[in-house]
Every structure is written in C-alpha cells, then in structure tokens.
Chains A and B, each alone.
Chain A
Amino acid sequence: MDEKFDVIVVGAGPAGTACAYELAKAGLKVIMFERGEYPGSKNVMGGVLYRKQMEEIIPEFWKEAPLERPVVEQRFWMMDEESMVTMGYKGLEWAKEPYNNFTVLRAKFDQWFAQKAVEQGALLINETVVEACIVEDNRVVGVRTDRPDGDVYADVVVLADGVNSLLAKQLGFHKEWRPDEVALAVMEVLKLPSEKIEDRFNLEPDQGCTIEMFGDVTKGILGTAFLYTNKESVNIGVGTTLSGLMKAKIRPYDLLEYVKNHPMVKPLLEGNESQEYAAHLIPEGGYNSIPKIVGNGVVVVGDAAHLVNAIHREGSNMAMASGRMAAETIITAREVNDFSENMLDSYRVRLMDSFVGQDLKKYKDTTHTFEHHPQYFKEYIPMLNRAAGQMFTVDGTPKKQKQKEILRSMTENRGKLGVLQDLYRAWKVMK
C-alpha cells in the first residue's frame, strides 16, 4: 500500500485510543488497528474507571460516556471461611460532579472512546490483526497486517496491544512473562435487576459500590477477588498470580465458583443470570518488570509496557496516561522530524517522572514480598477474624483476658519477634 501515515497505533484499548485521540487532535495522520469486531468487543476489566486520567483527555466525559455507576462506597473484606472483618469508606461527595471514579463495561466504553478518537480524525480499522512490525535498518517503519495488500508505513508505531504484546516480544523488548509477573483473572458479568442491586448494596439509583475481597476467597493464594455494581448487573471476579495458581493446582474458574458460593457473597448474587464470562492476564510484576518501551520509530504503552499498579487495581488509568504521554512525545518529535530511540526516550523519562513511574516504584517489592511470605494471606487474615470474633462474642470472659488470649494465639505460630518482623516487612513495602 502506498499511503503513509504519521503514526500507526496497534490496539484500541484505553492506551491506544488515548494516544490516537491526542495525536489526531494535534492534526497528525493516525491509523489505529483493532483485531476485535469493534473496540472493546473482547476487552474486560473489573470495571473501575478513574476520573482524573480520563478527564485529562476528555473534560466532563461523564456527561456523555456510557458509564455504569459512580462509585460512592469502597469496601474491603478480610475473609475467612465463615466470617469476615470489614472496612470501607462511603462518601456522598463522590455521588456528585466531578465524582471520583465509575464502574464501566468495557465493551461499551471502549467503543465510545474509540469513536471519540475517530471524531478527532483518527482512522479506525477493526477486525484486522497486526502480525508484525516492519523493521528496516534497525528502525520500525510500519506494520504488517493479516489482510491482503496489508503492509502500511508510518514515522512511528505505537504498540498498545495489551499484556501479551506479541509485537514488543518480536522486537526483543521483553521475553515471555514469568508466572509470578502476571495474574490470571477470571470474571463474570451477572445480570440483576437494578432495584435488587440497590437494595442489597444499600445504594440509591445512580450510586455504585466496589468490594475488594482478601483471604479465604483466593484460598490463600496471593490475589484478590472483587464485586462491583453496574446499572443492571454486577461484575464478580478473582485474580491471583499465575505462579500461585500453578502451585496450588487450582483451576481459575473453580476459584471463581468458590468466590460466588462463599457464604458472605452468595446472598448478594441470588437470582442472577450469567451474561458473560472472561479470563485475562494482568501484568502485575510492577516496576521491576517494566520492559524496554522505546526503540527507533516505536513506543510501547499501557499493559504492553507492564504499567499496572496491582495494589490499587489501577491499570486503565495508567494505560491512558502513558498513551497521552507517548502522543505528546511524538508530537514534539515530529516538529524536529526525529523519530530515533534517543528522541522518543523522552516518553520514558516523562512516564517515569509521572505518577505512573512513581507509584510503580513505591510498590516495587510489594507483590514479591507477599508472594514469598504467604503468612499474610494464609495466617493473618484468619487470625484477624478469630480475634474479632472472640472480642465481640459476649460470653462472660473479661475483656482483658480476651486480649491476652488473642495476643497469645497471634504469636503462637511465628513468635512475637516473627510477628514484629512480618509487620515491619509489610510496612516497608507498602509505606
């Protein structure tokens, strides 16, 4: 094909679309490829979309974007088999503009967002798989698609092809992710009438809540389960490190069934109708796993660049932020007509200086630590449950004696020093 573009974006998820949007807005000639029938057709996430990074691209997007519910309450459940200790925050300031964050269904949201990029002038080509980057003289100069007459050329190629990023792997930017660098998440969308959702989760119409679950729901494997409310459905899922699953020999969908049937969860789902089931990897290796993300004529953004904060389940926002920063760099590079790795590297620098790089750095050892010290999930959460159970059971035992017994049982396994070490270690990686 003879036509040449300024930029080719591969993948119309949050990262690619954010990038294409900014580039097209600045007047660049952009073509974006998506292998799905339409953007979002196969994309999944738990469903929390963060306002801030979206707003930086489209101000007041909540007035027109297909959102489910603004989140007014975030709950955290520390679960044992038949009990839980809970914590949370509910604030009605989050129910008003400008809101805090929203639940979304990606199939609708991605399609809308990509359409916005098209309105800015980006060309969206669906149902087309990019099979390889075209490399000439150690420079990426275009891509090869699976279509007849399917080569297309550009000054820069943006790889926004998601966690597996076969294209970045082909370029030698990263190897196959190790099982402890990725989480395998399975989730289901369950249909429920809105009145039931509002009753069961104590919400007004137009309010939503998120529940993060730890402990028994992952059978002690490092990971979390989640339950988020949409308008007329809930998203329920569980994600654990692939290495943990392999070690425990548990099938991911069996784990999801376990979560759905947990006595603390089951009543909330009563009478649902399953709508959709999906499994997806999440890049959770953090800072230490970020691969090479810049080359001559090429940059990598979003999940493909391993930009997920597993502790705060932030991924889509980092994807958007990285897409936007890549666009800004490309726009500058174009002014001097220099698309070398050297020039494009200012994207990486910008990214690492931003909240994306800083947050990933802050938590760089967290998942690793928890993976290597399973006592946090396996022992402390049940312990916490027992402690709370004992403390709140009125059985005539003086409270002081209860406290003593709790303390004794807590230090029984690891000793006082061990517990202190564990606490210090946890504080160090989270601080």
Chain B
Amino acid sequence: MIANTLPKSLADNPRLDRWLGFDQPDRASVRVGKVEIGQGIATALCQIAAEELDIAIDRIDLTAGDTDHAPDEGTTTSSLSVEVGGASLRLVCAEVRALVLAAAAHQLGCPVNALRIHDGAILRADQPTGLDYWSVPVSLARLATGAVAPKGVAEYRLVGTNVPRRDLPAKVFGAGFMQDFTRPGMRHGHVVHPPRIGGRIASIDEAAIRHAAGAPLDILRHGDMLALIADNATALRRATFAADTAVRWDGLAPLTLAMQDADWLTTQPSQDGTAGDPHPAPPGTRISAAYSRGYVSHGSIGPSCAVAEFRDGHLTVWCHVQGVYGFKSSLVGGLRLAPDQVSVRHLHGSGCYGHNGADDTGFDAAAIALRMPNTPIRVQWRREDEFGLEPVGSAMHIRLEGVLAADGRLQDLTTTLYSGPHINRGGDGNLLTARLQPNPVPPSPVAETSAPYPGSGTRNAVPYYDIVGKRYRHHMVLGTPVRTSALRGLGAMPNLFALESFIDECAEQSGQDPLAYRLTMLSDPRARAVLRAAADMAGWSRRRPSGSGTGLGLAFGRYKNTSGYAAVVVELAADTELRLRHIWCAADAGLAVNPGGVIAQLEGGIIQGASWTLKEQVTFDAAGIASRSWADYPILRFSDIPPIDCHLMPRPNDPSLGMGEASIGPTAAAIGNAAAHALGLRLRHMPFTRERIVAALNG
C-alpha cells in the first residue's frame, strides 16, 4: 500500500468499483467526478481509460458528476482534471487490468506475461483464450493500491492523439444540454431575487404579476423567497419581468458608481497576508506602477438552468454545477435535509468558466420543488438574471515596486494587491435562495484556502522569474459591493497582466529588448523554450522602435507557477482603439492527452483573455449590477478576432499539466505590451476602452 502517494481523487475514493465496472455486456462503465464544461474532459478521460484497459473507446459508458454513482472528486476547477482526475483514473484502470490478467493467467495456468488484452479480450500468443473483462471473475470491491505501473508513453496508441470529442455530435445536431432535459409533468418556476444579497421583501403587487402572466400562475411565498410557477414558460417569463418592478425590496444600501472600479478596494477594510522575502528592498533604481481590472462576468451564452423533483421524501436535482458533491452539501445544509434525501446529477451546460449561476439555479429549483412535492420544477434563469445575479470575477488593484540593479536587471519586487474573494463556493447558507429561507442558515465565511498562498487573489502574484528578493502583501476585501467568486484563473489573469506589463516597463527603462530581458532572469528551460518558440513564430526580430502605430508585445506565464506554461505574442494596430492583427502562442502541457483539445483550450483562453482585456467590465447602478445585457456588456466578436497560431512543445515524457487557464494572463499582458509598443504609452487599467485610450493619449 502506497496510499500516501495516490493522487487526491483516488486517495479520497480508493475503491476500484467506485470508478470502474464491467456489469453491462461488452461495455465498460467508467465513473468520474470531473465534469464536462466544454473543455473536452469527458473525451480525455475516456482516452486514458481505454488506453490503460486496452479496450475500444466506444465501449466506454461514462458517468460524470453524480452523487449516487460517481466518485467525489470535488470541483472541476483549476485545470486539475487531467493532472489529478486523469492520473487517478489511469492508476485504477492499470490496476484493474493487472488484476484481470493475473486471474486469467491463474485460470489458464500460464504466466501473466504470456497474455495480452486486445479490445477487452484476453489473448495468448495472439489467439483468443475465450476470456475477457466480462468473464474473468475479479471483484473490484477492493481498495486501490496504486502499485501497478501504468503503461509507458512508448506504448500509447490513444493517449496523445486527437480523438474527436464524444459529446460534440449530439450538440451539433441540437441536443445534449441541461436546457433540453425534461421530466413528465414538469412545470416552470422562478425565484424573484432581490437585485443583490441582503434584500428583504417590502411589498408585492401580485395582481400586476398575475396580469402579466395571462395564464394560471402559482405564487408561493416562503420567508423572503417569492416563487412563481406556471405550466408554460412564456407565461412565466412575462410574470418574471412584471415581478422585477412589482416586488419592492428593503435592506439594500444604494451602490455608488465609484464602487465598480478596482481602486475602491484600496479604501476598504481588508484581511491582510504577507509572504516572501522579509528583508526590506535593497538600494538601486526604483520603478513602480499600478495596474487594475474591474469586475468581470462569466458571460455564459446559455443562462443557467436546472430541474428539481421532490418525490417520496427524496430530492433529485439535475444541474450543470462544477461540483455535484459540494452542491449537494449546500442543498442539505441550506434546506435542512438529510444527506441521504438528496441526489445531484450533472448534465452538460453552456460553458461556465467558473462559478456562474449554475449552483443558484439548482438551489432555486430545489427550494421550489420541496414545497411542491411530486412536481418537477424547471428553473431557467433569464439573461438578465445570469448577468445580474451570478457571482462575478473580482476586481483587482495591483501595485508593483521594483529595484533595478546597475545592469538593469530586476533584483527586487514588492507586490501589493487588493482583491475581493475569488472562491465563494459551497457553504450551507451562501447561495442566493438559501438566504431567502425563513430562519436562514447563516452563510459560511469565505473559504479562500488555496495553498500555498493565502487568498486566491495571490494566484501568480509571485513572479516565476529569478528575482533575488520578492514579497507581496495581499489585502483581501470581504465586503465587495457585489458577490464575487471563481472566474477562470482567479487572480492569475490580473496578476500576470500586472507583472508582465511591469517586466516590459523595466526592460524599457533599462533599454533592453523585452524577450532578451526576460531570458536573463528565467532559468527554467521549459519557460525559456516557450518564450523563444512564441517569439520565433511571430518573427520577433522584425520588431521596430515603439510609437509607430503598430505594436508587437509578448508575455509569459506558468499558470499557478506549477501548471501549464504559455508564452503569447500579440501584433496589433492602435490609434484611439486597438485592433488585434495576429496572436501566436507556444505552450508546454507536458503529456497532452488530446493535443487538439489542448490547442482548443489555448485558443479559447486567448480569445476570452483578449475580450476581458479589451472590452469587459461589469457596471453598477444604485441597485446592483447594471450590465444585464450583451448590449451593456460587449464581448469580442468574429470581426475582432485575428488569426491565432498555437504550438505545443512536444513533451510526452513529462506529466500532464492543466492548460485550461494557461493562455489568459499572458494574452492580457501581451496586448498591453503591444499597445505600449504601438502607442508609446502604457495602458495599465483594463478594459482598454476607447475612452481610456483617448484619456491616456491626452495625457
């Protein structure tokens, strides 16, 4: 037993039969806790299982994210699904394969190494033995040892290839989403939410709501939860829009416009943490700058949706949350149920990119269903709800103070950052409708536990560069004006934007080329390799002096300083706005289980990162979030998107590194650096809107 070396998912769920079974003829049932959120994980995990088991991938039936049937692997976040979930599944399958081969060898009276497996059938001297996974009696009701070595890379035939996404055909032909799921007798429900947390019902004009519905409507009041239920989605939606004005709320102090900007955080009480070199900065040439990002929406194209059913004392919720077990515990706590009364099943949603409205809609549906036993309740948030009520990515303000040595090298860096919380998941009383229940369960404090640094705002706050003295001070502001939670990369994007912009500013001050400057203080050969590769792809040597109106900028980041490497070069044209012309990215993912899928993640991260950088900021009015439509919250469109070339460094012998978030921060900084190169002036506050550029040009 080498349990202490098992990957976390397997250590938490050590029974083999939690992961794998052969109970259906000719089929392998693979069960995992990591869920498909558009990143292709379902396919990558099937590749891993089929590879280790030596079966055809089409034989695999995957169950992902099910509190009754799948292992508890926590939440699908932080680019850990292949690193940890995949590693666990690989060990399970390798061990099961070995167990089955050993039993078959015993039965056949031959040595194990005389046997091999082809598509689930056990062969001896390449001839069928009549035995296979389905006929060899091996009980998987045992604990994994993790002691069976998986295949070597040289033996791979499926891992490392571009197996097509297994879920995509259904979606191309118009099916496959949570939003398409129905139950017999299902009705449509909606919880009328206050514009932000803390609202209490002051008055309700029921007649106006019923009139707008124009069809039979149930209005259910339970504490401060006001729910509308109709047979017909059209009637319900009409009622919900009427309710937006027909329900008045108490208990909300007005917001001010200043609160929507990151700088407001610097004026607030905070929980502070310090890490790094305790010594004061040494003497030398000082350089400092401050950078920021506003609040950013997840902006899922499909607003969140869930169905819940309470029957015979049991609550079942179908939803698209990133962590079914954590969500189940929020339901159990927030609705005061027993754990064995609740099942949560994951269905595919629109891409979420973090903690969007998925958990809240699931809770809404559950809270209504509990009060209407035997009636399945579907909750479909409106666009206005998804933008206005979901937790948003926190604003951040980052100040960097550096000391340059005589040769221009950055020898000391102090980072001071202000951020709201980036993780606000789970908790019994935290979801919106939990707070509206009579005698609500108190919300749990924010659980920002991401080791090794206090507060997820510090993700990538420590430079990956060889800088002699580096330290940071993190001010986490718990009292953000609106709810914040996980958005792709957490603090990594603002921190990498700030750091990589600052490195360029230091290079400029010391009169050095930004690429050469970085290479002088980056000893990790893999980091150097991606930087050089991206620069080569972009033709970095053609870069001219700044201020010409076109710019070439580069940036590097290793996500979390432990995960995927990415270097990005951006070429753009600039006057009073920025037009992207070309983006190149070189990345190191270690072993890429599905290289095409990794490239898709890199491309997606580049486009989303560019969109945040150029266009996006959540805006407030007195009530709460004002940007509740795509007109108020523009994102990048086809006509904004330049050619994008991504290259993966071949590293099949190194462990897989999560890539879902790797390209975002480097893209933001490369845009800022290219803009500075084009304009001859530095943009330090995202988004780089025309107003901000004009203001900067006017100095």
Co-assembled chains A and B: no
Contact residues of B with A, CB < 8 Å? none
Query: Measuring CB to CB, which residues of chain A are less than 8 angstroms from any residue of chain B?
Result: none
